[in-house]
């Protein structure tokens, strides 16, 4: 299994809602990542988990809350988002060495 899966594919939420994005991989990778991508821009790193511990938080607002329940799962909890948070949210995973990152298909988020 060389796949990273993300759910849901699409999400529309109001500014007062609470929702979660989910990411899963079964490649035994020990690093997992959340990225935010706006249209026509490269992905921007949000969080990195390495061995289930938060290693990088790129000054992301607290309305985004990551969680890594185990080595295969990565969640992103959303609360009180703003319309400018509308974007494609990408999850990725990697193993040590020289294999690079594997990306999931993304969740298209729209905040009304």
The phi-psi region of residue 82 (left if phi > 0; otherwise alpha if psi is between -120 and 50; otherwise beta) is beta
C-alpha triplet 72, 86, 101: angle, nearest 5°: 35
CB of 99 to other proteins, least distance (A): 7
**Matching residue, tokens 């990088």:** 56
- What character string, x for contact with other proteins (CB under 8 A) and - otherwise, covers 14-33? ----------------xx-x
24, 68, 85, 106: residue in contact with other proteins (rule CB under 8 A): 106
1, 51, 59, 84: residue in contact with other proteins (rule CB under 8 A): 51
In 3-state terms, what secondary structure has residue 84? helix
Residue among 13 and 105 whose Cβ is closer to other proteins: 105
């Amino acid at each position: 299994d060389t796949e990273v899966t993300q759910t849901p594919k699409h999400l529309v939420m109001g500014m007062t809602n609470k929702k979660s994005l989910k990411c899963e991989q079964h490649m035994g990778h020990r690093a997992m990542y959340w990225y935010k991508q706006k249209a026509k821009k490269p992905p921007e790193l949000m969080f990195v988990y390495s061995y289930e511990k938060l290693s990088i938080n790129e000054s992301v607002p607290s309305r985004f809350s990551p969680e890594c329940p185990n080595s295969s799962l990565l969640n992103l909890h959303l609360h009180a988002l703003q319309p400018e948070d509308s974007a494609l949210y990408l999850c990725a995973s990697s193993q040590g060495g020289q294999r690079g990152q594997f990306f999931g298909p993304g969740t298209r988020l729209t905040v009304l």
